[in-house]
A and B are shown apart, each in its own frame.
Chain A
Amino acid sequence: MATDVITRLDPASRAARRGLSDLTIRNLFIIPTILFLIVFNIFPLLYSLGYSFTDFRASTNAPANFVGLQNYRELLNDPFIWNNFVITAKYVIVSVAGQVIVGFGVAMLLNRDIPYKGLITTLLLLPMMLSMAVVGLFWKLLYDPSFGIINYALGLGTFEWLANPDMALYAVAITDIWMWSPFVMLLSLAGLSAVPKHLYEAAAIDRAGPLYTFFRITLPLVAPILMIAIIFRTMEAFKTFDLAYILTSQPTTEVLSIRLYKMAFQEWQTGRSCALAYIMLIVVVAITNIYVKYLNKVKER
């Protein structure tokens, strides 16, 4: 009987009975998928890597000339590009830190018995379901110094958020925090609900204070899942484009993706922009590796 159940549930056996062998499945599904990935992912990746060593400009009919590492050398010696890196780093730190603090804080508040908890959680998730372009335009109106509700609510008069070079990056980061804190909150809630209750009961019996409980029980147990949220959000924040582009076009908010876009599609410096894309890729991979190593350490503890 048990054998019969296994046979009925085993898809390979069912496929075999219908005449679909492992070989056929590989040929029909796996090989086309791999080919698709190679054609649309790997090939463009390698092709653009090739272009990054040339002076190719897509706006001309001139052939691409091999220039070796010149594009990389020029980019790494360009003070404007370094400035773009600094802006991006500042943005990533402010934005991700804000999301972790707000998201985790809200998750702590929601991780208790409160009425309409499900409804509140759902409503809090709404910002991250909206399109980036819509959020950008929406917040542009909110920040407007003449009729924006933010200045009205905070009594800031005609304070300029987006036109002020010193404030614009923070204004973009605040919008990003508003949009993506729910993501951190969701993951944190999952982590918090998985913390065994008996640990808190034991801490209560030992008369441990709330701070001790938080730092010794809650945070260590939620840390791995929080780290995953941080990894995701750091990668996304590093690549951010839409919000900064729509909200403001200040030099102080020109993150790397915007510079890359302008270089590739407004200035048509195709080879150079490919090199910048690879520099960005290397940085993202390096940051992610550092995070993953740290995540593994946190898990081991």
Chain B
Amino acid sequence: MRRKLAGIVAGIGFTLACGTSAFAQELTIFWAEWDPANYLQELVNEYEAETGVRVTVETTPWSDFQTKAFTEFNARGDAYDMVVGDSQWLGAGSTGGHYVDLTDFFKKHNLGEVMAPATVKYYAEYPGNSGKYWAIPLEGDAVGWSYRKDWFEDPKEMEAFKAKYGYDLDVPKTFAQLRDIAEFFHRPDEKRYGVAIYTDNSYDALVMGVENAIFSYGGELGNYETYEVDGYINSDKAVAAVEAYKELYQFTPPGWAKTFFVENNQAITEGLAAMSMNYFAFFPALLNEATNPHAKNTGFFANPAGPDGDQFAALGGQGISIVSYSQNQEESMKFLEWFIRADVQKRWAELGGYTCHAATLESEEFRNATPYNEAFYQTMFKVKDFWAVPEYAELLQQINQRIYPYIVGGEGTAKEALDALAADWTETFKKYDRLK
């Protein structure tokens, strides 16, 4: 009997040991459903070939991404070992205890120097300038523009444009030129429209679009150190920027009141618009002739400058964090060590990922690899981001509630909308004791 019992115990022990060992050989990364996630899966397959550790990139549609990730965090679930979270999640992820502190890892590998400065600032550090890091910059991204080269280079169009506006039709260097070109090509009778911009008010789409204008007009969302917003978000520059964005809205295709990355790529693939705003991460589809019949005639440019020459863009992209509830944190650290290797970052870029690795980004090879990489490279050194505080979702809701009715519905003025927003944000920052 005793021998039988010992045998059973040994069997259970062996099974558990095997189970634990097998479990440690698998890692799950959670990300949104888009092309870069597919490139990442291709990349991590190479990690499996090298180390034997299987890594799965699990995805969910963008609309569910935040809800699903935070539901799992809130339940302290270990379904995901790592998450490629939005930059604005940093505050909630770190202060909520959901992310593992990667400060030592960051310092050990000197990532502050290795990665592009903006990506470190916005994808990894929280609070700003604190020297505390919670993620490794993974997918750099920002908002840029695509345009119809054949429309722009048509001699008749060029002649007509010069006659009307007094300067040559070319890729817009300023928001004023962008507006003129949008107006010029806006011909509803021909089912051709001037421009496609973000308008969806359900998450950060409209905000990203408007940020493009605010930052380039020299405006700011607020003081990220003191949390003061009055005088920043409702400054004259910010007001002018929001007015400019509203002006662009009148040159969009019909029904353009709830559009995001899918529709903005469709504006080009369906030959609807002369220019279209989108994240760089969605541009590969525009060079694919299978998905874009106008692929050969599609060009790209960085967000243009504002009236005073300021030129910035709204930041997209994400960093990769280790989930604090993961049972495989050590294995995840090893994976991150592999991921930040220069050769792996180069491979990541080759597969289509937007590396944040400074040396890779700056290389001629990367900048000439695609027609949009140069614009991406230029953009990644002049990006700005939304608030990354834990209450960012409330701030997003408030800005959507204030500016959407003005831009899409034509209600009130930009000044009224931004004054009201300044009051909302001030109240929210007071509520969370950031502002006295």
Q: Is B254 an interface residue (CB 8 A)?
A: yes
Q: Is A242 an interface residue (CB 8 A)?
A: no
* Interface size counted on chain A using CB atoms at 8 A: 25
Q: Is B201 an interface residue (CB 8 A)?
A: yes
Q: Is B177 an interface residue (CB 8 A)?
A: no
Return chain A residues, CB-CB under 8 Å to B73: 59
Considering only residues 149-201 of chain B, those with a C-beta below 8 Å from chain A are 188, 191, 200-201
Q: Do A267 and B397 have beta carbons less than 8 Å apart?
A: yes
Q: Is A278 an interface residue (CB 8 A)?
A: no
Q: Mark A146-175, 1 if CB is under 8 A from B, else 0.
A: 100000000000101011110000000000
Interface majority SS (helix, strand, loop, mixed), chain A: loop
Q: CA–CA, A164 to B92, complex, Å?
A: 35
Q: Do B70 and A59 have beta carbons less than 8 Å apart?
A: yes
Q: CA–CA, A252 to B92, complex, Å?
A: 30
Return chain A residues, CB-CB under 8 Å to B393: 266-268
Considering only residues 233-259 of chain A, those with a C-beta below 8 Å from chain B are 248-252
* Minimal Cβ-Cβ distance residue in A for B66: A266
Q: Is B409 an interface residue (CB 8 A)?
A: yes
Q: Do A60 and B256 have beta carbons less than 8 Å apart?
A: no
Q: Do A158 and B394 have beta carbons less than 8 Å apart?
A: no
Q: Do A60 and B257 have beta carbons less than 8 Å apart?
A: no
Return chain A residues, CB-CB under 8 Å to B257: 160, 162-164, 248, 250
Q: Do B397 and A59 have beta carbons less than 8 Å apart?
A: no
Q: B215: shortest Cβ distance to chain A, in Å? A: 24
User: A59-B73, A59-B390, A60-B96 are contacts. A165–B66 as well, Cβ < 8 Å?
Assistant: no
Q: Is B353 an interface residue (CB 8 A)?
A: no
Q: CA–CA, A250 to B404, complex, Å?
A: 8
Q: CA–CA, A146 to B252, complex, Å?
A: 13
> In this complex, which of B70, B92, B255, B400 has the most chain A Cβ atoms within 10 angstroms of its Cβ?
B255
Return chain B residues, CB-CB under 8 Å to A163: 254-258, 408
Q: Mark B355-399, 1 if CB is under 8 A from A, else 0.
A: 000000000000000000000000000000000001101100100
Q: Is A80 an interface residue (CB 8 A)?
A: yes
Number of A-B contacts (CB under 8 A): 80
Return chain B residues, CB-CB under 8 Å to A250: 201, 257-258, 404, 408-409
Return chain B residues, CB-CB under 8 Å to A145: 254-255
Q: Do B203 and A248 have beta carbons less than 8 Å apart?
A: no
Q: Do B95 and A158 have beta carbons less than 8 Å apart?
A: no
Q: B267: shortest Cβ distance to chain A, in Å? A: 11
Q: Is B117 an interface residue (CB 8 A)?
A: no
Among B95, B394, B409, point to the contact of A269 (Cβ < 8 A): B394
Considering only residues 379-436 of chain B, those with a C-beta below 8 Å from chain A are 390-391, 393-394, 397, 400-401, 404-405, 408-409, 411
* Interface size counted on chain B using CB atoms at 8 A: 34
User: A59-B390, A160-B257 are contacts. A249–B70 as well, Cβ < 8 Å?
Assistant: no
Q: Do B67 and A265 have beta carbons less than 8 Å apart?
A: yes
Q: Do B254 and A60 have beta carbons less than 8 Å apart?
A: no
Q: A256: shortest Cβ distance to chain B, in Å? A: 15
Q: Do B255 and A266 have beta carbons less than 8 Å apart?
A: no
User: A59-B74, A165-B408 are contacts. A146–B394 as well, Cβ < 8 Å?
Assistant: no
Q: Mark B79-117, 1 if CB is under 8 A from A, else 0.
A: 000000000000010011100000000000000000000
Q: B66: shortest Cβ distance to chain A, in Å? A: 7
Q: A248: shortest Cβ distance to chain B, in Å? A: 6
* Minimal Cβ-Cβ distance residue in A for B200: A249
Q: CA–CA, A146 to B66, complex, Å?
A: 32
Among A60, A164, A252, point to the contact of B390 (Cβ < 8 A): A60
Q: Do A146 and B254 have beta carbons less than 8 Å apart?
A: yes
Q: CA–CA, A60 to B258, complex, Å?
A: 31
Among B92, B188, B405, point to the contact of A165 (Cβ < 8 A): B405
Q: Mark A265-284, 1 if CB is under 8 A from B, else 0.
A: 11111000000000000000
Q: Is B288 an interface residue (CB 8 A)?
A: no
Considering only residues 232-257 of chain B, those with a C-beta below 8 Å from chain A are 253-257
Q: B200: shortest Cβ distance to chain A, in Å? A: 7
User: A163-B257, A252-B409 are contacts. A268–B397 as well, Cβ < 8 Å?
Assistant: no
Q: B30: shortest Cβ distance to chain A, in Å? A: 16
Q: Is A61 an interface residue (CB 8 A)?
A: yes
Return chain B residues, CB-CB under 8 Å to A266: 66-67, 203, 393, 397
Q: Is A58 an interface residue (CB 8 A)?
A: yes
Q: Is B202 an interface residue (CB 8 A)?
A: yes
User: A163-B255, A251-B401, A266-B66 are contacts. A158–B188 as well, Cβ < 8 Å?
Assistant: yes
* Minimal Cβ-Cβ distance residue in A for B270: A146
* Minimal Cβ-Cβ distance residue in A for B188: A158
Among A162, A251, A262, point to the contact of B405 (Cβ < 8 A): A251
> In this complex, which of A80, A146, A249 has the most chain B Cβ atoms within 10 angstroms of its Cβ?
A249
Q: Do B258 and A162 have beta carbons less than 8 Å apart?
A: yes
Q: CA–CA, A248 to B66, complex, Å?
A: 20
Q: A73: shortest Cβ distance to chain B, in Å? A: 13
> In this complex, which of A80, A262, A269 has the most chain B Cβ atoms within 10 angstroms of its Cβ?
A262
Q: A139: shortest Cβ distance to chain B, in Å? A: 13
* Minimal Cβ-Cβ distance residue in A for B67: A265
* Minimal Cβ-Cβ distance residue in B for A164: B257
Q: CA–CA, A60 to B98, complex, Å?
A: 8
Q: Do A267 and B394 have beta carbons less than 8 Å apart?
A: yes
User: A266-B203, A266-B397, A269-B394 are contacts. A162–B255 as well, Cβ < 8 Å?
Assistant: yes
Return chain B residues, CB-CB under 8 Å to A146: 191, 253-255
Residues of chain B whose beta carbon lies under 8 Å from any beta carbon of chain A: 66-67, 70-71, 73-74, 92, 95-97, 188, 191, 200-203, 253-258, 390-391, 393-394, 397, 400-401, 404-405, 408-409, 411
A-B pairs with beta carbons under 8 Å apart, 22 shown = A58-B74, A60-B92, A60-B97, A60-B390, A61-B96, A80-B401, A146-B253, A158-B255, A160-B254, A163-B254, A163-B255, A163-B256, A163-B258, A165-B411, A248-B258, A249-B201, A249-B202, A250-B408, A251-B409, A262-B397, A266-B66, A266-B67
Known contacts A162-B255, A163-B254, A267-B391; 16 further A-B pairs (Cβ under 8 A): A58-B74, A60-B95, A60-B390, A146-B255, A158-B255, A160-B255, A162-B257, A163-B256, A163-B408, A248-B257, A251-B400, A251-B404, A251-B405, A265-B67, A266-B67, A267-B393
